[in-house]
Amino acid sequence: MKKEILKKQIQYSRTYRYIEMDKINVFLGVFLSIIPLCLLVLFYYPQITLFISQFTMKVLSPIFHENVLAIESSDFLKWFGPVYYLSLPGRFPSIVFIWLNLLITLISLFLLSSVVKTRPLTIFLSISLWVHVCSAIFFTFIPEYFPYDATEYSSLYIKQQVGIYFFVPIIIGIAVCMLPINFVKSWITIAFCAVYSFIFGIVRYITFMFILSKVSLMYMASLFFSFGPFIDFLYLVCIYSFLASSTADKLKRNKGVWRW
């Protein structure tokens, strides 16, 4: 006799269900948090970048000799003012350092490709390592053509960071507006992401500046390509996934919101 499979609970049909949009809630929750945050970044980025530069200088100053660190500015968006960034010396790699890096990178690539070549994380690491190989080759043969010093990179980083600060509320806002949650929750989520990205951006800036100045300029490309906006995306999605998960849980117990 066949074993009967009995369900403890029959869930509501998921096939064609949808939610009637609460337009006011979405408007309040999303647009009233995205727009102010974006405007805040746009109108206050000179002050924000000045604060970041001053803070970074304060943190790094015990490690550097006096008068080496300074704050500079450069033009950014015409109508909104300049960006401020830290000026600091970079450390050019010695040939031994370059070759040692190249050797270690190539061995790592070989190990990655021979052991676990098809894993997503392996491919991510491999691409990062290849960028480092390019950097090592560049510094071996044409170091005089390397186009950036630590200060130029510092400027590039700050400009990139302003872009990230601007886009984080927009991207998380788009994601959050697809979830049937009240506007307070939307505000908290979007504001939390903005604050997180602000703090993370500063911590990363300090770390990058330290590496480029005290370890080697050779790591610039790897830092730029592997630990830049991709990492910002990662925490953004982490925060979103927690919110979406709790929303899914609540909706399971709330039949009233669904329409079929």
Q: Measuring CA to CA, which residue among 213, 234, 217 is closest to residue 164?
A: 234
C-alpha span between 221 and 153 (Å, rounded): 10
Sole window of 19-27, 33-41, 59-67, 192-200 interacting with other proteins (rule: CB under 8 A): 19-27
What residue type is assigned to position 51 of the chain? F
Binding of other proteins by 24 (CB under 8 A): no
Tokens of 253: 């117990």
Binding of other proteins by 79 (CB under 8 A): no
Question: Binding marks (x or -) toward other proteins, 132..161, rule CB under 8 A?
Answer: --x---x---x--xxxx-------x--xx-
Contacts with other proteins in 153-212 (CB under 8 A)?
156, 159-160, 162-164, 167, 171, 174-175, 178-180
The nearest distance, CB 189 to other proteins, in angstroms, is: 12
Binding of other proteins by 16 (CB under 8 A): yes
The nearest distance, CB 177 to other proteins, in angstroms, is: 8
Q: Measuring CA to CA, which residue among 125, 103, 128 is closest to residue 222?
A: 128
Query: Where along the sequence are the contacts to other proteins (CB under 8 A)?
Result: 11, 14-21, 117-121, 123-124, 127, 131, 134, 138, 142, 145-148, 156, 159-160, 162-164, 167, 171, 174-175, 178-180, 221, 224-225, 228-230, 232-234, 237-238, 240-242, 244-249, 251-252, 259
